[in-house]
A = this chain, B = another copy of it.
């Protein structure tokens, strides 16, 4: 599998996004389904707010797809919180087989990969992939509570308050087709700066992308868009550079969900957005409708994750990273073969 792109025969039937106030006021604000003006979603703690975002995203994706809970056979979900309690608590009232994932910020893509493999294999009819992050839960868990007002470095990214949910199922009814998937390999290149996740994750993204082109015989020109999850400005630049060194220019079709979700001019988020919710919300709300309308025809989405913990960094470890790839096309590309 390592050098093999796995063909899948399924699609995304429905998707939803839930975001916070900063994301709502950003360039993609009008595309998101739900938001909370105070980022609390009616809850008393940030962690409960994040769980509520998962619940809302799940329910909204079901409703938008005109589906019932009983139409699903499995949930794949995760988040950045210790013990992934955003997903566990947010989705505990749904009476469905539950697979908890930890892929750091690559979780949405990891869930999409596993959902599409099980749907394509006929083991489940439909599965829901859900992922979330919340700026205030992430800041206090990974760095320090936002009330401390800690100064951020230029390479630091801003954890997105956002959640996305995706129903994966039969290709006939879908908004976009999932043509194939390529799971990531853990890559660690010596980066220790937890305020520069982009640099830690870019080599993993390059690794997956190179393996993908090698396995499929495709090139960047075959795609309208190659979107990474949350490399941000710093990591995105490094990825393009790494690809150039391998003789592949991706700049023409490259973008990053962490660069799309905030305005660089008016929203000071330093190196861009990050977090499980970044790629999940941008894919669900912005990219998927473009695939559904045919405005985008062939898209590679790569969820990127940094797999360290605050404790592993304190103990002097480097940051291992991973990038999971999902190849999506418009329905018009039904005949187009990936691998």
Contact = CB atoms under 8 A, between A and B. Distances in A.
A110 B88 CA distance: 15
A91 B186 contact: yes
A310 B83 CA distance: 9
Contacts of A2: 70, 73, 95-97
Interface string A288-332: 000000000000000000011111100101001010000000000
Contacts of A102: 78, 83-84, 100-102
B103 A100 contact: yes
A48 B315 contact: yes
A87 to B, nearest CB: 8
Contacts of A95: 2, 185
B73 A311 contact: no
A31 interface: no
Nearest to A181: B123
Contact of A100 (B96, B120, B307): B307
Given A47-B315, A81-B309, A97-B184, 11 more contacts: A1-B123, A2-B73, A44-B315, A45-B315, A74-B183, A81-B311, A83-B102, A85-B312, A89-B312, A92-B188, A101-B101
A80 to B, nearest CB: 8
A123 B114 contact: no
B1 A73 contact: yes
A230 B85 CA distance: 20
Interface of A: 1-2, 4, 6, 44-45, 47-48, 70, 73-74, 78, 80-85, 88-89, 91-92, 94-104, 110, 113-114, 117-118, 120-125, 183-186, 188, 307-312, 315, 317, 320, 322
A122 B121 contact: yes
Nearest to A118: B117
Contacts of A100: 101-104, 110, 307, 322
B186 A322 contact: no
B309 A97 contact: no
B85 A308 contact: yes
A89 B186 CA distance: 9
A1 B124 contact: yes
Nearest to A127: B1
Nearest to A43: B315
A13 to B, nearest CB: 16
